[in-house]
Amino acid sequence: MATMLGQAEAAPEPASEQLPEITGRSPWALAARRLWRNRIAMASLVLFLLIVVVCLAAPLYAHDIAHVNPFVNNLNGTTIVNGKKVPLMQQGGGVLHLGETPIGPTWDLRHYFLGADAQGRDVAARLLYGGRSSLGIGIGSAVICCFIATVVALIAGYFGRAVDAVLSRLMDLVWAFPVYLLAISISTVLLTSANGLQVGPLHIAASSLWLPTLIIALIYLPYVYRPVRGHVLAATEKEFVEAAVSQGASDLRVIFSDILPNVVSVVIVLLPLMIATTILTESALSYLSVGVQPPNASWGTIISDGQDLLYTRPWVAIAPGIMIVLVVLSLNVLGDGVRDALDPRARLRVEE
């Protein structure tokens, strides 16, 4: 006991010399550490990255393995099944011989692994190329949306008053429309017209992937703007902002050096969830023929192409459907993980 007490009493100075130095960790490092420890979130991230890598390898698969051009009709083509040459399109049998049915999955990576679509094109190759479009548009539109919404929210929240009123009403205007209705309306006008988008010298062709990217980014602006603006409003009232202002910091400096770092975590939490949402939106628009335009493919257009083959060649529609589910699921789980990592108290609040 005496020893213990003696140790305890004597402890302060020698102990401080022996214990490792406590290194301060930034909130970002702590968040990264928490995310790293979230196995489910990391598994989702790995799955998402795997899908991205596989889709990026689409040209490799099409040119070097399957030896197909998935953007050109191949109605009179043939392939090899069990060592035999078979036509890609097979005339209906029975009594009437109605219709032409494309070949189904061969499960052979070199020969129409997932079969052909109604135009004799390799579904597997189109699936990978479609993934490039879907992921590119999804990620691109989410990033653009988050960037613009954050900038606008910073300006509106910091300057307040008339600036806030005008910008917020503009966002409300976009918000007033149902998301898909607005997206379909704009897409119908821009994507299915001969001219595409012409704004001054800027011209984007109707077949360009930039058009659906920008349209989807536009329609989701208020959904990012609203929560970010709320955090900007709260941050603007903080003492450190008053201190910065009283020291003569410029508005830009206050916005980007003091306020932005305090709201960027909100944007980071929203980003994966927005990517999942925009990929779904892109697929829906493409399915309705007002998204990605031919000859480009996306998962939505492939589902649309496969709709008329559901009874006979269901894999044409199912395969891109599975890809969409996997991507959206992984991004949603990852998004939850990022939220927990950046704001662990949020989960506690939910649980309470």
Work out which of 8, 110, 147, 192 binds other proteins, going by CB under 8 A. Answer: 192
Is there binding between residue 108 and other proteins (CB under 8 A)?
A: no
The tokens describing 102, both together, are: 């494309």
Is there binding between residue 313 and other proteins (CB under 8 A)?
A: yes
Is there binding between residue 188 and other proteins (CB under 8 A)?
A: yes
Work out which of 98, 199, 202, 350 binds other proteins, going by CB under 8 A. Answer: 98
Residue 246 Cα distances to 238, 251, 257, 348, angstroms: 13, 11, 15, 37
Is there binding between residue 310 and other proteins (CB under 8 A)?
A: yes
Work out which of 49, 50, 60, 91 binds other proteins, going by CB under 8 A. Answer: 91
Q: Which region, judged by CB under 8 A, interacts with other proteins, from 33-41, 98-106, 139-147, 235-243?
A: 98-106
Is there binding between residue 160 and other proteins (CB under 8 A)?
A: no
Is there binding between residue 294 and other proteins (CB under 8 A)?
A: yes
* Contact (Cβ atoms closer than 8 angstroms) between residue 300 and residue 285: yes
In angstroms, give the least distance from the CB of 95 to other proteins.
Answer: 4
Is there binding between residue 198 and other proteins (CB under 8 A)?
A: no
Is there binding between residue 332 and other proteins (CB under 8 A)?
A: no
Number of residues binding to other proteins, judged by CB under 8 A: 36
Within 13 Å of residue 85, how many CA atoms lie on the same side as its CB? 3
Q: DSSP state, 197?
A: E
Within 13 Å of residue 299, how many CA atoms lie on the same side as its CB? 28
- Burial (CB count <10 Å: 0-12, 13-18, 19+), residue 96: exposed
Q: Which is nearer to other proteins, 87 or 227 (CB)?
A: 87
* Contact (Cβ atoms closer than 8 angstroms) between residue 70 and residue 122: yes
Work out which of 2, 5, 22, 95 binds other proteins, going by CB under 8 A. Answer: 95
Is there binding between residue 208 and other proteins (CB under 8 A)?
A: no
Q: Which region, judged by CB under 8 A, interacts with other proteins, from 36-44, 86-94, 163-171, 227-235?
A: 86-94
Work out which of 22, 96, 199, 202 binds other proteins, going by CB under 8 A. Answer: 96
Instruction: Give the other-Cβ count within 10 Å of 98's Cβ.
Output: 9
d(CA 32, CA 48): 18
- Residue partners of 192: CB distance under 8 A and separation at least 6: 206, 289, 290
Within 13 Å of residue 157, how many CA atoms lie on the same side as its CB? 27
In angstroms, give the least distance from the CB of 56 to other proteins.
Answer: 25
Q: Which is nearer to other proteins, 8 or 72 (CB)?
A: 72
How big is the chain by its Cα radius of gyration, in Å?
Answer: 27
Hey, is 91 helix, strand or coil?
A: strand
Is there binding between residue 203 and other proteins (CB under 8 A)?
A: no
Is there binding between residue 46 and other proteins (CB under 8 A)?
A: no
Is there binding between residue 201 and other proteins (CB under 8 A)?
A: no
User: DSSP letters of 242-303?
Assistant: HHHHHTT--HHHIIIIIIHHHHHHHHHHHHHHHHHHHHHHHHHHHHTTSSSPTTS--HHHHH
Q: Which is nearer to other proteins, 119 or 262 (CB)?
A: 119
Is there binding between residue 72 and other proteins (CB under 8 A)?
A: yes
Q: Which residues, in sequence order, are bridge partners of residue 85?
A: 80
Is there binding between residue 68 and other proteins (CB under 8 A)?
A: no
In the complex, the residues that contact other proteins under the rule CB under 8 A are: 72-73, 75-76, 89, 91-101, 118-119, 188, 192-195, 206-207, 289-290, 293-295, 308-313
